Amino acid sequence: MSVFIIFLLFTANGFAQNSNDYRRVSLSVYGGATLGYPDDDNQIFGSNFNTFTETTYNFGGGIQYAISPFWSAELGYRYNTINGVGEGGFETVIHSASLKNTFNFNRLYRRNQISEWLNPYLILGFEQDFFKYELGNEDASGIESALLGGFGIAFRITNSVDLFSQFEVKMASNGLDNERRGFPFDQVGMATGGIRINFGRSDSKPLNLSPAVKRLTDAEYDDFIESTEEFKAASREIEAQREKMTEMEERISESERGNRQQVERLDRFTKILEARIDTLEQRVDSLEILYSEAVQERASEQTLKGEVPAGHYVQVFATTNYEVANRVKEMFHDLLNGELENPEDIVFVIKRGRFYEVLIGTFSEFSDAQRAHGVAIGRFSDAFIITFPRPLHLEDEYRGTAIVHD
């Protein structure tokens, strides 16, 4: 039985996932009494057997699917016992698989609010009985089909929970009491009550529930028609405004496209101007460099004065850059400090052609030039002694040689 209940729960959840606006799937469990057969009188409602029986119990459950608000189908299981009385105290155990159709009568008065919570219904279906008869050492078993009918009433507690009570009569096998005589069937009457769980979204209702319909007076109906006309007029106005907005959006889009094209043209023009500006800046930088070099050269040439006096000199460095030659001159001011008197006066730069040469002098004695040469080669190994005036074969090369002053 527990395995069957687990199966029903699993199946109910599976069906409930497919429901949409209503709760179509429900699971029910119930229990109650199986009526006995106390005398020889046939009963229209109740139980009829070939021998007397006592009232026993039954229980079961099922999974129901609402096909329409009026009609639901249910697959179920029921456990039942039939017990004889007196000397014929037999026991028949019945396991039944059922297929029931439930027809909801609350649809007949759906305009009343009572249909929201009270639902009488009719049951029609059949069961497949698997039964076993036992009396002392005697036993028998069988599998028989049975017709089923009944009625009931359900009370809605919430959208998820119903309570119900029902009475069912089953025309079963004539061998439940192991005696086959009289009617061609044994009649089993069962009164039960139970609970039904409806599966679905929290905001949905069971399909068999029908909202109550409010009856309108003439004045309320006129108000409804007037409100409807106002709603239609408002809808037309909204549609007209929507069309205007669409037209404005199209104009704005067209304007944006025009502006975008203009911006793209300006962007291209700006890039061209930037490229031209970069080119002009490069040219200006080149002109500034040339101008600076020309000014420097002119300034250097203007500082030339006097020819180199006759005597002995130590030439320590030569370059085409005046600034470099001047730095070498300053360096030798420091190197000769303490070695010779007045190094600031005897270390100078001369310009010969395009070269600037750093000299130490003038020495009238060659020995003094040799002493200065010894200091110079410690810094520049190619330093050498030179004497002015130069020999006749070098006269043209040194013509115009002059001292350069800062």
Rounded Cα gap, residues 368 and 389, in angstroms: 18
Confidence band, pLDDT 50/70/90 cuts, at residue 362: confident
The DSSP bridge pattern shows strands 311-319 and 355-363 to be: antiparallel
Question: For residue 237, is it left (φ>0), alpha (ψ between -120 and 50) or beta?
Answer: alpha
Q: Which residue has the higher pLDDT, 50 or 192?
A: 192
Residue 252: CB atoms within 10 Å? 10
Only one residue has tokens 């004065």, namely 305
Q: Which residue has the higher pLDDT, 367 or 41?
A: 367
Single out the residue of 144, 153, 155, 96 nearest to residue 122, CA to CA: 153
Quick one: pLDDT at residue 214?
61
Three-state helix/strand/coil letters over the chain? CHHHHHHHHHHHHHHHCCCCCEECEEEEEEEEEECCCCCCCCCCCCCECCCCEECEEEEEEEEEEECCCCEEEEEEEEEEEEEECHHHCCEEEEEEEEEEEEEECHHHHCCCHHHHCEEEEEEEEEEEEEEEEEECCEEEEEEEEEEEEEEEEEEECCCCEEEEEEEEEEEECCCCCCCCCCCCCEEEEEEEEEEEEEECCCCCEECCCCCCCCCCCHHHHHHHHHHHHHHHHHHHHHHHHHHHHHHHHHHHHHHHHHHHHHHHHHHHHHHHHHHHHHHHHHHHHHHHHHHHHHHHHHHHHHCEEEECCCEEEEEEEEECCHHHHHHHHHHHHHHCECCECCHHHHEEEEEECCEEEEEEEEECCHHHHHHHHHHHHCCCCCCEEEEECCCHHHHHHHCCCEEECC
The 10s digit of each residue's pLDDT in 261-275 is 888 888 888 888 888
- Range of lowest pLDDT (24-28, 137-141, 175-179, 329-333): 175-179
Backbone φ and ψ of 396, nearest 5°: -65, -40
Quick one: pLDDT at residue 178?
80
**Residue boundaries of the structural domains of the chain:** 2-206, 216-302, 305-404
- Range of lowest pLDDT (15-24, 96-105, 142-151, 201-210): 15-24
Give bridge partners of residue 318 from the DSSP assignment: 357
Query: What is the third-level CATH fold of 2-206?
Result: Porin (2.40.160)
Say whether pLDDT at 15 is over 60: no
Q: pLDDT averaged over the chain?
A: 83
Q: Which residue has the higher pLDDT, 204 or 40?
A: 204
Single out the residue of 168, 157, 156 nearest to residue 192, CA to CA: 168
Contact 159, 198 (CB under 8 A): yes
Rounded Cα gap, residues 49 and 348, in angstroms: 148
Confidence band, pLDDT 50/70/90 cuts, at residue 391: confident
The 10s digit of each residue's pLDDT in 284-302 is 777 777 766 655 554 444 4
Quick one: pLDDT at residue 389?
78
Q: State percent of the chain over pLDDT 90.
A: 29
Confidence band, pLDDT 50/70/90 cuts, at residue 40: low
Say whether pLDDT at 96 is over 90: yes
Single out the residue of 163, 82, 183 nearest to residue 129, CA to CA: 82
Confidence band, pLDDT 50/70/90 cuts, at residue 344: confident
Rounded Cα gap, residues 275 and 268, in angstroms: 11
pTM of the model: 0.50
Say whether pLDDT at 341 is over 50: yes
Rounded Cα gap, residues 287 and 295, in angstroms: 12
- Range of lowest pLDDT (59-63, 180-184, 277-281): 180-184
Say whether pLDDT at 231 is over 50: yes
**Max mean pLDDT range (121-130, 242-251, 348-357):** 121-130
Say whether pLDDT at 86 is over 60: yes
The 10s digit of each residue's pLDDT in 108-123 is 887 778 888 999 999 9
Contact 15, 24 (CB under 8 A): yes
305-404 CATH: 3.30.70.1070
Backbone φ and ψ of 266, nearest 5°: -60, -35
